[in-house]
Structure 1
């Protein structure tokens, strides 16, 4: 390996494989020869997967056969690769499915067939038939997308741009096509439900680009399960997972300012929710799309989408039954229709009082009290009740966890708007600049930046040459996180 180390050697081999168009078996053979690793590890390195990714794939593969997902994590995979532990028959079968290889090719057992023309990678020969056929165009597209998304994970979001958006959009199209063409009958989806909850819990704890890459990578695996036959109950549960995770991707795209992609993902989620006739889930997705319009589109569009969500939610005790009127209230307040806005936010509060705890503690999939207070303060600040707004803002900030910097930033900007309404322009400009500069580029600052600029334009034109306003204009021209 010279002075490169294993990672460097593998990188060189993969680059050579890409340039020369090697079959996977040859790439595996070169990694084994040059790095001295086991066949199982060589297969993982040749595919560019992490230990955690392989563990997730094993769990998903076993689940897809209708069995309970095994408790496999990355240390298990590492021990299998070093020979310190043997995978169970079920897990070995999953590994063979994942790598499209026989057990002996992965280093477990031996091949005793006597065909004279049979060779494998151990002898430098041909691949098994499944490998000889080569990946289809769809598989190649999928692998290219995953490479881009893995790059996002490794760089913690630096370089989020056109290539990443293309990869995310390609995954969305593949999921949408799978939803529209599948005939499903069998399978277990408990692990996927846990994954959807796990991603929701990570919202605002992980950077938006990193979580976006993780969720979209999971969607690529979910697409494979969607194409398999499942029971009706499993179809219902899996499609629910699809709709919720599509909504989460849409939310993350909104945070990153990728509004067109966000709308497409919300639409994909709506396809899934409509397929299972889940009106509450549809309503949640319309509500989230309304928020996207509120930040990046028009208040009129936001109000229209929120009203659609309210009709879909009806009298259900669901997230959208309270959140949709709250978003509509924010839109109406932004349109200067203060009386209607106050009526809508009062309705949201009355519905919220009767929501089950499963909704009011559900984080990004639910509607929590901190979120309600944030929306109330936002409406009061825009509906000519700045004194009441300041009190509600303080309450909301006490309720919000410290790690949710984005919503706390929104609240602090609402406080600045109340100061503008009071005529305290210097302090308002100072707070807006403080919030804007307090973010790094990968924290999902898009909506916060949009709101900061909106409040800036609420400052009377006659003050544009005022020192504090000029300084704020300079700050808002900087990239997020600049000093």
Structure 2
């Protein structure tokens, strides 16, 4: 019975490989999950071994649910029993799921005789109603044939155009499904501030997988652009989580993916925002020239086209901070003034959203600028204001970063014992599952700011011991 199931015939006619079938199966299951509110459908998939059994007919009974429901949804007009247990030649669909092909092509149709077990070749008809059985004959190979009805050339051209229009409008996802994905993405952005990066990566990748499956199919242009925006946000958050965990190579690769998706979205604000986010990796881990370049590219992009003042303030603040740390004091001051002007013109928000740029985050960037410009008094004022705004927000590592920058200021003023002690307290005050590599790197910067021989004071040795312990056990 090998190769005789209707499923085999339909997938073969569509040149569908196992990988293509699995993607369509999972996408259909996700669609049904949204429609029915059954989250268990989101994990539905099919192995290659199962697919081979289904197409070869090597099954005695139907598979358990939800496989029959998913198959019936994938192939309208057929039941799972028809698709898997009967010969293709013995099964007629309840409705025709396939558009009539263009004229002058040969296609195969089922023979209708009771003893038939093969397909017949038929010349295609441009008539949407299909060929008429009267007048059928046989060709030299013994296949049943139908005469091609007479048609005007204009009719065929118009029919072809309508098919093209249908293709351009076709899509495997509804606006409602996209809205649901947007809602889940907003939830991720809110949770990202307080959830540990390890847990966030798994949640982000789950939704990114669904977006990727939808985007892999042909969608209308507006839908594809929207999917690219979702991909860029999700990939950026994955990259940021990996950076916090110290997985620098993977973070760099994910930022590159996010940049590709952002550019594909054609959204100017998105393209700039992802570049600013990507600048964080070289800012914390080097090389600083890359941090300056990425943030500067974002700023220039926004200034040249005119765009969101909040994103411009974010880009300028990131560039000024990177320039200050890289020793370009004059350039840092100039760009910092631009950032302050842009932020003053922006619509301020205190949203607890990883994609937002509220005042507390702006102050965090100003703290870095003043710290590396050796403007200790200004840095301390900004840090106090920022810590007050962060007081009501739980789980963020930003308050710890602010206290570590205060420790850097103390170290630059030669108050080394106080600096080491403050850095150690800031590090240990963070919950263990948020105490990631990026915090350790910033605390190490406090040690590095002191001369080598001065790192052996008691507070310095204690800080080194804290940072040497396995992460999460301190």
TM-score, normalising length from structure 2?
0.64
| Aligned match of 1:272 | 261
Q: CA deviation at 1:59?
A: 8.7
User: 1:301 offset after TM fit, Å?
Assistant: 1.7
Counterpart of 2:237 in structure 1 is 248
> Aligned in 2, Cα 1:319/1:228: closer, same or farther, shift over 3 Å?
farther
Give the equivalent residue in structure 1 for 2:154.
Answer: none
Quote the offset at 1:294 in angstroms. Answer: 0.6
**In 2, are the aligned partners of 1:287 and 1:309 still within 8 Å (CA)?**
yes
Q: Deviations over 1:283-339 (max 9, x none)?
A: 111111111111112222211111111122223115531111111111111122233
Q: Is 2:459 aligned against 1:459?
A: no
Q: Label 1:61 to 1:382 Cα distance change in 2 as closer, same or farther (>3 A).
A: same
Q: 1:427–1:59: structure 2 CA closer, same or farther, 3 Å change rule? A: farther
Aligned to 1:473: 464
The alpha-carbon distance between structure 1 residues 296 and 225, as it changes in their structure 2 partners (threshold 3 A), is same
Aligned to 1:328: 319
Counterparts in 2 of 1:481 and 1:440: CA distance versus 1, 3 Å: farther
Unaligned runs of 5+ in 2: 1-25, 43-62, 73-78, 88-167
Q: Does 1:417 align with 2:408?
A: yes
Deviations 1:89-111 (A, max 9, x none): xxxxxxx9994424899xxxxx8
Equivalent residue of 2:433, what SS?
coil
Greater relative contact order (Cα 8 A, min sep 6): structure 1 or 2?
1
CA contact (8 A) 1:406 1:443 kept: yes
* Aligned counterparts of 2:325 and 2:80: Cα–Cα separation in 1: 75
Give the superposition deviation at 1:440. Answer: 4.7
Change (3 A) 1:113 1:459: closer
Counterpart CA distance in 2 for 1:257 and 1:116 is 49
| TM-score (norm. length: structure 1) | 0.63
After superposition, the C-alpha distances for 1:436-470 in whole angstroms (9 at most, x for unaligned) are 22345532622221111112100123413322222
Match of 1:125 in 2: none
Q: Matched residues in 2 for 1:369 and 1:97: separation?
A: 54
8 Å Cα contact 2:71/2:80 also seen in 1:
no
1:257 matched residue in structure 2: 246
Which residue of structure 1 aligns with residue 429 of structure 2? 438
**Per-residue displacement from partner, 1:58-103 (whole Å, max 9, x unpaired)?**
894159xxxxx547266999xxxxxxxxxxxxxxxxxx99944248
RMSD of aligned residue pairs (Cα, Å)? 3.5
Match of 1:238 in 2: 227
- Which residue among 31, 46, 66 is the counterpart of 1:61? 31
Report deviation, 1:223: 1.6
- In structure 1, the residue matched to 2:68 is 101
Match of 1:72 in 2: 37
CA–CA separation in structure 2 for the residues paired with 1:462 and 1:112: 76
Cα distance, 1:274–1:252 mapped onto 2, change above 3 Å: same
Alignment map for 1:91-170 (pairs within 5 Å): 99-102=66-69
Which of the two has higher C-alpha Rg?
2
Question: C-alpha offsets along residues 130-168 of structure 1, whole Å, 9 cap, x if unaligned?
Answer: xxxxxxxxxxxxxxxxxxxxxxxxxxxxxxxxxxxxxxx
Of 380, 389, 407, the match for 1:390 = 380
- Residue 231 of structure 1: CA displacement? 2.4
Instruction: State the shift of 1:199 in Å.
Output: 0.6
Shift of 1:423: 2.3
Measured against aligned partners, the alpha-carbon deviations of 1:27-77 in whole angstroms (never above 9, x if no partner) come to: xxxxxxxxxxxxxxxxxxxxxxxxxxxxx98894159xxxxx547266999
Against the structure 1 CA distance between its residues 261 and 98, is the aligned structure 2 distance closer, same or farther, given a 3 Å change threshold? farther
Which residue of 2 is the match for residue 27 of structure 1? none
Count of aligned pairs: 340
